[in-house]
Structure 1
């Protein structure tokens, strides 16, 4: 059965929905710019970049309504804004667990971002094995006639965590939420293996970083020496000071 609405009323309603969803798109644009700046800074100035890649999404109106119904909330745009905080979402993928908390701290230091809630599923994994750090942020969006504070969700996880979450989602989609117990057990075991891999890779990364620092110190020590006629001499501090004075 088709529903018929007065054309003008429908146009106004459509415009209201478009304006409502538009601010969430702008909030994502703001966050993408912030993360892009961090990404470029690490790429240009540091020897290591903790950000592997990012992905953004906006919930469909159907998904928003379904979540509103599940929560038993009033069916209105103000109610959606109050009760649904993950309409806009960003996922930041890192190499190591320590990177997750590092990026979270960097976002927390940005004075125009307000962190409303932190859900740490790394220290406290979900029963199915899911691991990730979830932040609910309030992002300022500057419109032509007003400023809006828009809630969005940022998920920060390692590559291994992201791979597991993607696999789990595909399995649940294939079985229409009714996953056999055997597969659930294997998924949880895979989550444990994934966490162990993250810890192992973190240890390797730290060891390599220490070796790199020791190598740099050794290279600097060699630079302060000269060899003449197979005899090695240390450059005196006074001569090294001359280099600084020449600058």
Structure 2
């Protein structure tokens, strides 16, 4: 019988550590008054029922669960499409993880309209029995892509993966609209960043005056 708490503890540790490290990038960009390619970071460890369901569907035995790539998952949200490439390069340059696989669903979107950039990394965590390499799936996407993906996930759950064709067609059109929004925002990126920088400096100045 698998002790799930013991098995999943290193996955929770990997997520906690990576969230801190990626959020650290954002803080460094802000401290140097630069645009941060990272808007925010979220993470989760797949619930046990979901792990069991996937292991049955994929015929993965219990002694091979560690090969499952998405038990630990991170999402990195960006304001602009170009920021995604910056985040990818930041991750590629890190010496504390190894990239195992990359899947570009932005250049090659899924039939559903889904867009995102996926990295699977091997990340070492320190345990009481020594170092353990944990597979973590990192999804990097814009806020618009994330909004669409969240809606699609909810509909897939509601219809148990069998979304009616009319809704599928609407979702595909919505995906294209979300991507056009990203493209338009990229065209006025400099103006947006200048406005955000002005707002941040004003907020910092206001805080200083109140002290």
Equivalent in the alignment of 2:53? 66
Give per-residue Cα distances to partners, 1:18-60, cap 9 Å, x unaligned.
2210010011112112112111101111331221111111111
TM-score after normalising by structure 2: 0.86
Give the superposed CA RMSD.
1.8
Q: Does 1:148 find its partner at 2:132?
A: yes
Runs (5+) with no aligned partner, structure 1: 1-12, 211-247
Alignment of 1:50-129 (within 5 A): 50-73=37-60, 75-76=61-62, 78-82=63-67, 84-129=68-113
Shift of residue 124 of structure 1? 0.3
Q: Does 1:27 find its partner at 2:11?
A: no
C-alpha change, 1:172 and 1:17, in structure 2 (3 Å) is closer
Which of the residues 138, 158, 166 maps onto 1:182? Answer: 166
Give per-residue Cα distances to partners, 1:175-233, cap 9 Å, x unaligned.
333322111111101111111111111111046679xxxxxxxxxxxxxxxxxxxxxxx
Contact 2:23 2:41 in 1 (8 A): no
Shift of residue 168 of structure 1? 1.1
Shift of residue 174 of structure 1? 2.7
Q: How many pairs are equivalent?
A: 195
- Tell me how far apart the structure 1 counterparts of residues 35 and 161 of structure 2 sit (CA, whole Å): 40
- Tell me how far apart the structure 1 counterparts of residues 77 and 111 of structure 2 sit (CA, whole Å): 22
C-alpha change, 1:81 and 1:200, in structure 2 (3 Å) is same
- Larger RCO, structures 1/2 (Cα 8 Å, 6+ apart): 2
Contact 2:19 2:42 in 1 (8 A): no
- Tell me how far apart the structure 2 counterparts of residues 162 and 59 of structure 1 sit (CA, whole Å): 18
Equivalent in the alignment of 1:17? 4
- Rg larger for: 1
- Tell me how far apart the structure 1 counterparts of residues 50 and 33 of structure 2 sit (CA, whole Å): 41
SS of match in other structure, 2:112: coil
Structure 1 moving runs of 4+ over 6 Å? 207-210
